[in-house]
Amino acid sequence: MSHLIILPLLLPLLTGIVLLLLRGSAMPLHKPISLAATLGLVAVAVMLLLQVGDGQIEVYLLGNWSAPFGIVLAADRLAAVMVLVTALLGTGVLLHRAPFDGHTGSLFHVLFQMQLFGLNGAFLTGDLFNLFVFFEVLLIASYGLLLLGGGRDRTRAGLHYVVLNLVGSTLFLFAVGSLYGVLGTLNMADMAVRLAELPESDLGVVRTAGLLLFAVFALKAALAPLHLWLPGAYGFTSAPVAAMFAIMTKVGAYAILRVYSLLFGPDSGPAAGLLDPWLVPLALLTVAAGTAGMLASRQLSQQAACLVVVSAGTLLTAFGLGGTTAVAAGLYYLAHTTFAAAALFLLTDVISRARGALADQLVTGPDLPRGQLLAGVFMLIAIAVSGLPPLSGFIGKWLILQSSIDNPWMAWVLGVLLLTSLLGVVGLARSGSQLFFDTDASVEAGPATRLSNLTAPLFLLLLGIALVMYAGPLYEFSRAAAAQLLHPSAYVEAVLQAAEAGSVR
């Protein structure tokens, strides 16, 4: 048992504490420390990925308490990939111009590291109650991040976001409590074992709790009809925060994938296939609703937020289709859409500063200084987001569409995804022409964009291009991760036998 697996939790936690202690310091230390820690996190994530890349499952017993009684962390391929995606996204976001300065700026970095801590914990934990705790950690950090800066719209959207998530947390606890009452354990691997031998009379409670958990995860993942909070929350917050939140809906999707492959997967006994009638139709509804919102948006940031809803729907469609091919396609799409959505949010920030007082409203605006450069980057990111060739969005969507063939949902999936992709292109093309061509020289523009301001969007775009260049090996890896996930017996065995394998040193 190596200690590597707990580093993605300890590194951001300790960095956050150090940054909190440095809060009053006059020297602008926060950004360098935060960025260095996030780069360190990338390195740790790569090491973790190399360690679990051959299919081995790393289990870490906290305090060396043996598995079903103590708390475990478990890293398989999926968890390691999620940690890496989070770390890369965090690096990209921190490369962007800091949204706040002074005291607020130092708070931003503290909360940012705490957010990374919560995210990594949620990806690595093997315990259902700990999943709840890490959800709370990342949510509490996200409340602070969302509200930083203040302002009418932001406060109102923040209030909705906080209240909704508090209700969600209550439901999560109800579900966890019911499952514990019936199964007598909270370790997810142990739960899977107990569930298989559960008497028929208790199945109703387990099904109810399972669907309650689904409602909670659907709220986090912005699955229709629980997606209405997202455009407000993401659209009105500051750009780096919105970009970082691109991973937040994926946490919900990850939790659905993890919990339902372990507890309600195809060969998990009596409660198998609990979500089958729900996930795909709701996900397609999400895609449609997000597209409608995107076409109706009057601001670029709102449009980007609606595109996050669309991507969440597309992702959950892939996960809902089930089977190794579809889940692998979903995992590839997950990495792509996280980077692309974050790049769009950050570019929106650059554009709205270049436009001065009009910000990102989609109305006749000023002639932008360096407009052609901005328009070019916007077009590249729009191509990636909307899934046109040759960028990563196209490969992701194509893999998902291909995996739906021979599925009973094929006609619906193909129809909805292709039509909404077309509408997505139309919506983004309209915004682009509005921003860059419908100009009026008499309107005053903002300061000229400096090239360094484009570093962060371009970095995230480059990650997307890397996804295309190495699409073959990455897809093979996604397939391996999906296969490992859908046959959880190895995971269960690794967690439950970790106690016997001996102690730490």
Partner 1 sequence: MEALIAVVVGILTACGVYLSLRGRTFPVVLGLTLLSYAVNLFLFVMGRLTIGQPPIIREGASYADPLPQALVLTAIVISFGMTAFVVILSLRARAELKNDHVDGEEPGQ
Q: Which residues of 109-131 are buried (b: 16+ CB within 10 A; e: fewer)?
A: bbbbbbbbbbbbbbbbbbbbbbb
CA distances to 222, 256, 480 from 401, in Å: 21, 21, 19
Q: Which is nearer to partner 1, 118 or 313 (CB)?
A: 118
- Separation CA 287–CA 304 (nearest Å): 14
Q: Can you tell me which of 20, 53, 136, 215 binds partner 1, judged by CB under 8 A?
A: 136
- Least Cβ distance, residue 137 to partner 1 (angstroms): 9
Sign of CA dihedral 31, 35, 37, 41: positive
- At closest approach, how far in Å is the CB of 146 from partner 1? 10
Q: Please identify, among the stretches 98-106, 166-174, 303-311, 351-359, the one whose residues bind partner 1 according to the rule CB under 8 A.
A: 166-174
**Shortest reach from residue 363's CB to partner 1, in Å:** 23
Question: In this chain, which stretch among 143-151, 401-409, 416-424, 464-472 interacts with partner 1, using CB under 8 A?
Answer: 143-151
Q: Are 243 and 346 in contact (CB under 8 A)?
A: yes
Residue 180 touching partner 1 (CB under 8 A): yes
Question: Residue 220's closest CA among 136, 281, 325?
Answer: 136
**Complex with partner 1: residue 20 or 423, whichever CB lies closer:** 20
The DSSP 8-state label assigned to residue 61 in this structure reads E
Residue 101: CB atoms within 10 Å: 10
Q: Which stretch binds partner 1 (CB under 8 A): 49-57, 135-143, 245-253, 266-274?
A: 135-143
Report the amino acid identity of residue 279. L
- Here the tokens at position 268 are 């998990």
- Distances in Å between the Cα of 225 and the Cα atoms of 220, 290, 303, 313, 319 are 12, 11, 18, 11, 18
Residue 135 CB, nearest distance to partner 1 (Å)? Answer: 10
Query: Residue 490 interacts with partner 1 (CB under 8 A)?
Result: no
Q: Should residue 156 be labelled a site residue for partner 1 when binding is judged by CB under 8 A? A: yes
Indicate the residue among 136 and 196 with the shorter CB distance to partner 1: 136
Residues paired with 365 in a beta bridge? 439
| Separation between Cα atoms, residue 170 and residue 263, nearest integer Å | 21
Which CB atom, from 251 or from 315, has the smaller least distance to partner 1?
251
The reply to whether 204 sits near partner 1 by the rule CB under 8 A is no
Instruction: Say whether residue 133 binds partner 1 (CB under 8 A).
Output: yes
Q: What is the DSSP string of 46-65?
A: HHHHHHHTTS--EEEEGGG-
The nearer residue to partner 1, 28 or 151, going by C-beta atoms, is 151
Q: Which of 42, 46, 62, 140 binds partner 1 (CB under 8 A)?
A: 140
Q: Does 176 bind partner 1 (CB under 8 A)?
A: yes
The piece of 175-183, 398-406, 415-423, 430-438 that touches partner 1 (CB under 8 A) is 175-183
Candidates 10, 43, 50, 163: give the one binding partner 1 (CB under 8 A): 163
The answer, yes or no, to whether the previous bond of 390 is cis (omega within 30 of 0) is yes
Interface positions with partner 1 (CB under 8 A) = 129, 133, 136, 140, 143, 147, 150-152, 155-156, 158-160, 162-163, 166-167, 169-170, 173-174, 176-178, 180-181, 186
